[in-house]
Structure 1
Amino acid sequence: MDAPRTDPGEALAALGRIRLDEVELDDVVRRVAELANRTVAGSAHVSVALIQAGANRAIAYTSDLARELDDWQYQRDDGPCLDAAVSAVSVSLPDMSDEQRWPEWAAQARAAGIGSSLSIGLPIQEAVTGALNLYATSTHAFDHAAIELAEEFAAYAAVALANAHLYDSTAVLARQMQEAMRSRAVIEQAKGIIMGERRCSADEAFTLLAKLSQDTNRKLREVAEALVANAANR
């Protein structure tokens, strides 16, 4: 049964209202999949796939069937979803029983009850591409109007996903920098303790820390934290 339809204008407005500081990338992608499934006529199952550094994954899907249909393509590195993602074009399969480009995948989809599909490329960033994949239970489910609407939706979704990915990457980088600063601070404290106890230079103190890290098979930061903690206890 087709999902209840949402007005396209409302769906696009909903994409624009997503607060990137309140939701993570995976949540943004999930909302895109759900909105697309409710917006494009004929759609019964939807997935959003991301491809980064050669790694393919269905990052969001409205049903297990959508995920399984995508995974089948990833395992074989072949299928309409991948072609749409790589080339950033729309790939329509109007009738699975008469599909010649990907006959094995079409047979798999047909056996799962899928009659037609539509994959829209999502150019997110240079290193990240993706595809919005819509699956229908009937043949010829996506007419010209549905394809145009799906492409318009995908264009808005690509912007939302690009912003979300950039925000997510920036947040990760910020966390990494904060962690690096904390690590550096505790290492400097440990060096100071060693310098005070051994009457040695900063370079010599760091060499001692590094040797202890290697001998105990622990990270340099962990060794420094233990040394600082011991000094505080004393």
Structure 2
Amino acid sequence: MSKQAEIDYITNIGPDGAYHAQNKPYSDPRCGNYFLDLGAIFLLLPPPPARLLDLGIGSGWTSIIFAQRGYQVTGQDIAPAMIELAQLNKKKTGVTNVDFLVSDYESIAIPELFDCAVFYDSLHHSVNEQAALTAVYRSLKPGGICITVEPGKDHHLSPGTQYAIETYGVTEKEMHPGKIIACARNAGFTSYRVIRRPHGKGVLFDSSPPPFIERCETFIGEVYQAFRKLRRAPSLLNVGNIVVLYKS
């Protein structure tokens, strides 16, 4: 699908759709889920006033909330019309510690400026997720983190997603943790965590967990824990997920 379709999306969805986009999260029936996601993100981010790069922001509502929390925020979107809505939301809320940028997150070039970056339900709209994660890696300071929040396996096959693809020509892809992690490693990220979106519970997999000796009293216990982890690994693909990527 074309990037132009993403640029034209806000125009193509009409006034009602634009009203919904501008007034998120409150205009959306999933408002409660959005706030659960944001709560999880806040627990994973470094504390404010860290510099935060918010990617694929649409009308900028996540950027506004991050700024209200105290982060120094740069919000990015490929669509000028979306950034216009974000500027209106900034004016309406009165926040001053957020700026907006019209750009393609697959080629954004702001070397080592940010402490953290967030893709909130936006990486699955990429044409080239490898380019997007590589560009963000370069934008992070050493020790920075990137958080992706995605709907999980088979998102692109859902009826609502298929309607968006057929009607508006936008990019909707499967973006499960395995794909994100592979691209992140290629980009240079050194470790990661995968966590269920708040509808589930706990860390599903950690690439650099504490040594087993700290968690298991015997060799049998160690084997048992490893077996349990392997049994749970396939479920990484099937649930909404948060992936935290770490830059050394």
Interval of TM-score (by shorter of Structure 1 and Structure 2): under 0.3
> With structure 1 as the length reference, what TM-score do the two structures score?
0.27
Q: Which protein has the larger Cα radius of gyration, Structure 1 or Structure 2?
A: 1
More helix by share: 1
> With structure 2 as the length reference, what TM-score do the two structures score?
0.26
More strand by share: 2
